[in-house]
Amino acid sequence: MEFDLETLLKLGASIIGLLLALSKLFESKVNLKQDLKLHLEIRNLIEKGSEEYNRVDGRVSELVNILYPTDAEYKVRDHEESKAKSYLLSLITGISFSIWTLWIIFSGFSWWCLLTAFIAFSAFSSFKETLDSDKNKN
């Protein structure tokens, strides 16, 4: 099994693209303040007590809860985000260091493969621990 530079570059570019796409998922709060401002302006223009006013008022309440959560809600959201980042980081680290270890072994044995194998093993152990802690909470 031989790895060439072109394949490694394509794999690296794919992983970087995946990381950038996933980072965009965590940046969903960017336009929420603008949405809240727009909904407040619309709510002020609508007749109070109408069906439309109630819908817009409900949406304003949702946006306020998202942007300004209570301490308990903030802890839950923060924990969920850190758990997702832990899953992602440990899985990507484990896979990339596993590939690097195989590349070192097949391109000519070097003792450095022990270090990369240990890092890959540690990352997969972290992934398993995160999964187990999630199962124990449920």
- Provide the pLDDT for residue 134: 64
Do residue 39 and residue 81 come from a single domain? no
Smallest CA-to-CA distance from 63 within 81, 37, 27, 25 is with: 37
- Provide the pLDDT for residue 110: 80
Do residue 110 and residue 63 come from a single domain? no
Do residue 45 and residue 86 come from a single domain? no
The structure's pTM equals: 0.47
- Provide the pLDDT for residue 2: 59
- CB-based burial, 95-125: b 16+ in 10 Å, e otherwise: ebbbbbbbbbeeeeeeeebeebbebbeebbe
Q: Which stretches in the chain have pLDDT values below 50?
A: none
Structural domain range at position 62: 29-68
- Provide the pLDDT for residue 29: 53
Do residue 55 and residue 90 come from a single domain? no
Last residue of a domain, one of 18, 40, 68: 68
The number of folded domains in the chain is 2
Give the C-alpha separation, 60 to 13, whole Å: 41
Give the C-alpha separation, 125 to 90, whole Å: 8
The predicted-structure confidence for 121-138, as pLDDT tens digits, reads as follows 998 888 888 777 766 665
Task: Using DSSP, state whether 13 is helix, strand or coil.
Answer: helix
Do residue 33 and residue 53 come from a single domain? yes
The reply to whether 23 falls in a domain is no
The reply to whether 126 falls in a domain is yes
The reply to whether 86 falls in a domain is yes
Burial of 82 (C-beta count, 10 Å sphere; 0-12/13-18/19+): exposed
Last residue of a domain, one of 68, 92, 115: 68
- Provide the pLDDT for residue 78: 65
The reply to whether 102 falls in a domain is yes
Do residue 92 and residue 137 come from a single domain? yes
